[in-house]
Structure 1
Amino acid sequence: MSDAPKPEDELAGTEQPFVSHLIELRDRLVRATIAVAIMFGILAIFPGPSALYDLLAAPLVAHLPKGSTMIATNVISPFLVPLKITLMAAFLLALPVVLYQVWAFVAPGLYSHEKRLVLPLVLSSTVLFFVGVAFCYFFVFGQVFKFIQSFAPKSIMAAPDIEAYLSFVLSMFIAFGAAFEVPVVVVVAARMGLISVAQLREYRGYFVVLAFVIAAVITPPDIVSMLALAVPMCMLYELGVLASAYFIRYSKAPEDDEALASGDASK
């Protein structure tokens, strides 16, 4: 039995009163809100809410029959919908600042080996969410709207409502952005010990089925959009499996290394 003293907890003595945590949380929220407000002000000036809406509506407008336009069934929709889109764009552009404030708030309560894991995950989750949204806008929307218009009877004049379109776009952005977070979820689950890397490899067949079920539920009823979501999810799952083994070693606690070394020495 070893009599070696245990290393001192690196977080010992760093506790703060509950009120101090509330004050810091308030300050972090204020800074994140200011970042979103600044981006909103910039976007409101250039390119402007109307131009942002035209940009967001471009994939649908490109596939509408000649002479068709989008409509507003609510009196204030032409004013509110572009503002909502500007706010959404401002939040996305300010997302790195928002996530940094979250990171800065929780960092003092993390061990050094945990910090090595959290920061890369925050950065990667931000990038993956943006990639998912961009993939949805530049590829999926065009294919979905083309498919829908190909089935529309010639006697029907398509005139989508702008509020309904905004709701559809937001739901698709959230769906694809969240779906592209699969590697992050896999890495976190493996690092927390909820599932091993070997089990992740063993269960990949089940995940493929699950990916296609999720894609069939949250995408429009066409094979193109379903495959556009399910196939990247399967590929990202494999990426998460590969990254899990690395991150488990990268964020290993020092005592784990010491226990492993002492076990090897005792043999």
Structure 2
Amino acid sequence: MSAPAEESLMGHLLELRARLMRGVAAVLVVFLALVPFAKELYNLFAQPLVAKLPTGGTLQAIDVAGGFFIPIKLAFFVALLASMPWLLYQAWAFVAPGLYQNEKRLARPILLAAVLLFYIGCAFAWFLVLPTVFGFLAMFTPDTVAMAPDVSRYLDFVLVILLAFGLSFELPVAVVVLVVLGVVTPAQLREARGYVIVGVFILAAIITPPDVVSQLMLAIPMCLLYELGILAGAMLRPARAAS
């Protein structure tokens, strides 16, 4: 490898390290700011389930240190979620110099859409899906069974749901990227609609709780988002071809 090539590679590695350090620093700053409020944060986080529990019902910590570590874990997740735009910006700033001008014009709205759709998916899960699922489960729980969920399992359950919906709402972005890169055409996506719908319902059955309500609340929006991705890809594809 020639000296200029080695210098170029070293420069890219140093730039990557700097971007990673800035991203990690941002997450740590937000995390440290949230740690003093970890207890209140978890109390707020538990509301979708606590609101559906019988009178006097509450969560329990089976692990001795669970009451301490679980709120800290939640604070870190919230810090990561809040820092996501900055982390994506660092990734964009690293790869942007290597893109052509027309690719930059397309990448910016796609990146913005990816961030917005992720947050919209999380909000959809938080405000609609979780209250519906917990209400559905509480409705069919016998009166002789005391509902006292473990704080750790509740946190893992909710985080999985939030991430599942946040990532699932990225489907239009994935479709647009495939169309813009020329991997598939909108016509091919329309022809594959039936297979995609079946796959979406299978995926929803795997990553959601074992009830029909939550599966439908994930599968139906994903099908609509798939159609939205086809429309957006069809509009962007001629612009790319013209450039």
Change (3 A) 1:17 1:175: same
Q: Extract unaligned runs of 5+ from structure 2.
A: none
Aligned-residue CA RMSD (Å): 1.8
Q: Does 1:96 align with 2:85?
A: yes
* Counterpart Cα distance in 1 of 2:35 and 2:207: 32
* Counterpart Cα distance in 1 of 2:30 and 2:110: 24
Q: Extract unaligned runs of 5+ from structure 1.
A: 1-12, 255-267
Written as runs of structure 1 = structure 2, the 5 A alignment for 1:62-77 is 62-77=51-66
2:26 to 13, 22, 35: 35
Q: TM (normalized to structure 2)?
A: 0.94
Q: Which amino acid aligns with 2:33?
A: I
* Counterpart Cα distance in 2 of 1:236 and 1:84: 31
Greater helix fraction, Structure 1 or Structure 2: 2
Q: Which amino acid aligns with 2:22?
A: R
1:118 to 91, 107, 113: 107
Change (3 A) 1:190 1:107: same
* Counterpart Cα distance in 2 of 1:88 and 1:249: 40
Give the deviation of 1:19 after TM superposition.
Answer: 0.9
* Counterpart Cα distance in 1 of 2:241 and 2:80: 34
CA deviation map 1:210-254 (0-9, x unaligned)? 211111121112121111101100110111001002222334474
SS in 2 for 1:234: helix
* Counterpart Cα distance in 2 of 1:156 and 1:170: 25
Q: Which amino acid aligns with 2:133?
A: V
Written as runs of structure 1 = structure 2, the 5 A alignment for 1:1-267 is 17-45=8-36, 48-252=37-241, 254=243
SS in 2 for 1:17: helix
C-alpha contact 1:113 1:253 (8 A) present in aligned 2 = no
SS in 1 for 2:46: helix
Q: Which amino acid aligns with 2:159?
A: L
Q: Which amino acid aligns with 2:115?
A: T
SS in 1 for 2:136: helix
Change (3 A) 1:249 1:116: farther
Give the deviation of 1:14 after TM superposition.
Answer: 11
C-alpha contact 1:71 1:159 (8 A) present in aligned 2 = yes
Give the deviation of 1:111 after TM superposition.
Answer: 1.2
Give the deviation of 1:158 after TM superposition.
Answer: 0.9
Q: Which amino acid aligns with 1:163?
A: S
Larger Rg: 1
CA deviation map 1:35-77 (0-9, x unaligned)? 11222233234xx101111111100001111122111111111
Q: TM (normalized to structure 1)?
A: 0.85
Percent identity over the alignment is: 48
Task: Count matched residues.
Answer: 240
* Counterpart Cα distance in 1 of 2:112 and 2:5: 26
* Counterpart Cα distance in 2 of 1:52 and 1:167: 15
